[in-house]
Amino acid sequence: MQISLANAKKLNWLWKDENEIAWIETFIKAVDKSGKETEYRLTPEQKNLVNGLEHKNIISKSRQLGISYVVCSLSLRRCICHPNTTCVLISHSQESTNKVFAKLKQQFYSIPECIRPQLLTNNRQELTFVNGSRVSCQTAGNKDLCRGDTINGVLHMSEFAMWKNQEGQMQSLMQAVTDSATVIIESTTKGFNLFSTTYLQATNNENDFKSFFFNWINGGSLFIPQYKQAVKSWKARHNGKMLTEDEYDEEEKYLASLGMTPEQAVWRRGKIAESSLDAFHEEYPSSFSESCIVSGSSVFDNSKVIRLQQTIAEKKIKPLPLDKIVGIPTILRSHVSNRNLKVWEIPKNGKKYILGCDLSEGLGGNRDYSTIFVMDKEDCKQVAEFASNKIKPYQMSDIIDAMGRWYNKGLLVVEKASGGHSVIERLRYEKHYMNMYKYKSYDEFKRTIWQVGFDTNIKSKSLAVNDMREMFDKNLIDIQSNELLEEMKTFVAEDNGAFNAISGCHDDRISACWLAIEGAKNGFWYPF
C-alpha cells in the first residue's frame, strides 16, 4: 500500500519515543460504557505520568484513575515500535489479570490493520508478535512469575500493596529488568507496608525510584457519571437543593482549596456514608498521608495529624528566616541556613524552655537522626527544632550546649542511649551545663544515686509515648514542625506492645518531643 509523503512524515514523527502520547491517541481506541469504541484521550494526570516516566517509578493513587489502561497502551506501543521488546503486566489477583488481558486485547484489535503486527500467539494471557515482541499478563504469587524473562520494555506491578511476600517478589522481578526498561509500581497504599515505605523513601530521595501521587480530586474526570448520579440522589433528598460551600465541614473546606467541586463533595459524602471516613481516605486519598491511615495501628490520631498539617499550611506557619533570628549563637547560624535548625520563636526573657535531645551516631544515609525539640515550658509550644544525621556526638554536644544557653539555660533532657552517654559527659563535665534532667537510682547498698540523662527502657518509653499521645489528643501541646507530624503518621504500636516507626521511616523527632514532655512533667529546674 502506497502512502503520501505527508502521511509518511507523520508516521515517522509518531514513531519517535518522545511522541508516545500522540501515538496512543492516534491509533488506540477506548470503549465507552455502552461498549462502543471511541477516541482515546488521556487525562492530564495520565499524560503527566507518561511524560514523566523514568527507569524506576512508583505511583501512589486513588482508585480507578485508569493507570492500568494507560500501561496497556504504553506496552503495546513499545512492542510495536521496538522489535524484540518484552513487557510484563502483573496484577494482584487472577480476576484482575483477566481484566487487564481483556483491556490489552481490546486495545490491540482497535489498532488499524495497516500498522497492527501479526500475532504469533494469543493465548495463556500473552500476545506474541512476529517482530519478536510480546506482552505478558501475569498474577502475583505465581511460582513461575517471570521465570526466564528478560524485561526490556515495561514492568508493571499493579496494586502492589495487596501482594503477599512483597519484598521477595520485588527482588526477583527486579533481577529480570534491563536498564532500558520502565518499571512502574502502582497501588492504593493500604496502610503501612513495603509499598508505602518505598514510596516514602522515593519522596525523600533515599532510593532510585521516582514518585508520583494522583488524588481523586484531580482525577475526577473519570467519575463524572457517578458525580451526576450522586447529585441527583442528593437533590431528591433535599427538596431539589444542592450542597453549598457554606455547609462544608473543616476537611471539606480544605479539599475545596485543592479543587474539590460541590458535585464531588456530594459524591464523597455518599461514599463515606457507605463505609467510613478512614475507608474513604484509604481508597480515595487527597494526599499520600491519608492513604496510609490504618485504624488501630497508628499511635496518633492520623485524621487529627492531617488536620493540624492543613492548619499549618493555611496559616502559612513557617520557620523564621536567618535575618529575623536575633541573638542566635554563631555556631547555630550555618544550621539555620542548611535547614538543620528551624526556629519559630526566638527566646523571650523570663521564659523557661525544655530541650528534648535524641542522639544518633551521625553516620548519614538513611540512619537515625540527632534531634532537638525545644518547647516553652509554660504552654508546651514548640519553638525550635534541630535534626541532622551527619553530625557526630561530640559535635552535637556543642550544638546542644549553644541551644540550651540561648534558650535561657533551658532544661536539657538527653536520652542516654546511642551517642547520648558521651554527649551527657561532655555537657556536664567539660561545658559545666548544670540544668540537666536527672533520675533516681540506687547502688548495691540501696543508697540513692542521681543519674544525669533519661534512661530509656520498655517501661519508661511506653509511659513517655502515652504521655505524648494524651497531650496531643487533648490539644495540650502546640506542634509547629510538619516533619514531626509526618513522623507521627508512620509511628505505630506493634503486636508485642512496642512503639516504633514503620520500616524505612524515622521517629527521632518523636523521641525528642516525648523527652521534652517528660522533662516538663518530672524534671527539676537547676538555675545557674
Alpha carbon distance 195, 309 (integer Å): 23
Query: Beta-strand (E) ranges in 2-150?
Result: 29-31, 37-39, 56-61, 86-91, 119-123, 126-129, 134-139
Give the model's pLDDT for residue 486: 85
- pLDDT tens, residue by residue, 93-146: 999 999 999 999 999 999 999 899 999 977 779 999 999 999 999 999 887 787
pTM for this prediction: 0.66
Query: In terms of DSSP bridges, do strands 491-493 and 411-414 run parallel, antiparallel, or are they unpaired?
Result: unpaired
To the nearest 10°, the Cα dihedral for 366, 372, 374, 375? 70
Average pLDDT over residues 419-445: 87
Query: Beta-strand (E) ranges in 163-304?
Result: 182-187, 210-214
Instruction: Tell me the helix, strand and coil percentages in the chain, rounded to 5.
Output: 45, 20, 40
CB atoms near residue 325 (< 10 Å): 18
Whether 81 and 15 have beta carbons less than 8 Å apart is answered as yes
- Report for 284-298, 390-404, 437-451, 489-503: range of highest mean pLDDT: 390-404
Give the model's pLDDT for residue 4: 67
- Residue 296: pLDDT above 60? no
Give the model's pLDDT for residue 380: 96
Residue 364 binned pLDDT confidence (cut-offs 50, 70, 90): confident
Residue with cell 447529585: 231
Give the model's pLDDT for residue 110: 95
- pLDDT tens, residue by residue, 203-224: 888 899 999 998 888 876 677 8
- pLDDT tens, residue by residue, 301-350: 887 888 888 788 888 899 999 999 999 999 999 999 889 999 999 999 99
Burial letters 254-275, b for 16+ CB under 10 A, else e: bbbeeebebbbbbbbbebeeee
Q: Which three cell numbers stand for residue 43?
A: 487525562
- Residue 463: pLDDT above 90? yes
Geometric angle at alpha carbon 361, from 359 and 362, rounded to 5°: 95
Q: Which domains does the chain have, with CATH numbers?
A: 13-214 (3.40.50.300), 220-295 (no CATH), 322-522 (3.30.420.240)
Give the model's pLDDT for residue 80: 95
Residue 340's identity, in one-letter code, is: N
Give the model's pLDDT for residue 411: 96
- Cα 203 from chain centre: 7
Max Cα separation, the chain?
Answer: 103
